[in-house]
Structure formats: C-alpha cells, structure tokens
Amino acid sequence: MIRAMALSPDDRAAIVELISLHGHVFDDGDLDRLDVVFTPSVVYDVSELGGGALRGIDAIRTAALALGDGNPLGHHVTNVVVTEREDGTAGVRSKGIGVNADGTVGTVTYEDTVVGTEEGWRIDHRRVVPRRVPLNGRRA
C-alpha cells in the first residue's frame, strides 16, 4: 500500500530513523528482522559492487550470510536527504561509511525508494553506489 499524501515531519523523522535502523540490524547480525527495514519485494541493487540485484528479503539475508566475515563491522549512515515524490513514495539519498575488520574504510551512496506500509515506512528499492574518486571524478 502506497500513501498518497504529503510527508509530515513525523514521516520524515520515521524515514530517517528507518535508514539508520538498516545499519543496526545488519551490524547486530539480526537478519531475521530485515522485514522491519525492507518490503518483502525489495530490490537491493549491489551491481556496482559486483553482487547484482538481490530480489526479496531472503536473497539479502542469504547474501549477507554468504559474505560472512567480509561484511563490514559497522555501517554508518549520514547526510540523509528525503525527497517527497508525487506517487506517495519518498526518495532518500544518504552516505554510508563501512568499517571493515581489517581497519579499512569504504564509502557508498545509498539511493533508496521508501514506501509507506501498514507496518510503517520500508525500503522498497536500494541502489548502492561505491565512491572511489573525489568529486565524482570531476577535474578543473
């Protein structure tokens, strides 16, 4: 069910909290609670990281378990920008910082579509875009 109304301040706060909750669920290994973050039909696109587009919560759980110790120790999200869309969904763009067990750090941009459901806001589509060069490669 998609809401067809303007985003209230409470909606915006709930969406930002949802984006933050993603890191806690993964970092805690609480993969049986992915439904508090994602819709059942979620598409989690990690193509630019070599993982393709994962379809559904079970595919995300399976991929996380398969990655095992390759998962970051910490997912940290910042710079969350929520954009209301005419279809009742919201676009969310945020920055992710991943801290790995070997001490390396990586950064990505999350590009999300979130939808209002009877259980609250959930991510229905996520594209993970790695950041590998400053200024998105722009030069003077």
pLDDT (tens digit, 9 = 90+) per residue, 73-120? 999 999 999 999 999 999 999 999 999 999 999 999 999 999 999 999
Question: Which residue, among 67, 86, 80, 65, has the nearest Cα to 112 in the 3D structure?
Answer: 80
Average of per-residue pLDDT values in the chain: 94
Q: Which residue has the tokens 């379809």?
A: 55
Q: Measure the CA–CA gap between 6 and 49, rounded to whole angstroms.
A: 34
Whole-Å CA distances, 122 to 23, 97, 100, 137: 14, 21, 26, 32
In this prediction, what percent of the chain has a pLDDT beyond 90?
87
Average pLDDT of span 45-71:
95
Tell me if 110 sits within 8 A of 94, measured CB to CB: yes
Average pLDDT of span 21-30:
96
State the first-to-last Cα distance of the chain, in angstroms, to the nearest integer: 47
The two tokens of residue 97 are 């910082």
The one-letter amino acid code at 103 reads G
Average pLDDT of span 14-21:
98
Predicted pLDDT at 119: 96
Q: What is the dihedral of CA 86, 57, 71, 104, to 10 degrees?
A: -10
In the chain, the domains with their CATH numbers are 9-137 (3.10.450.50)
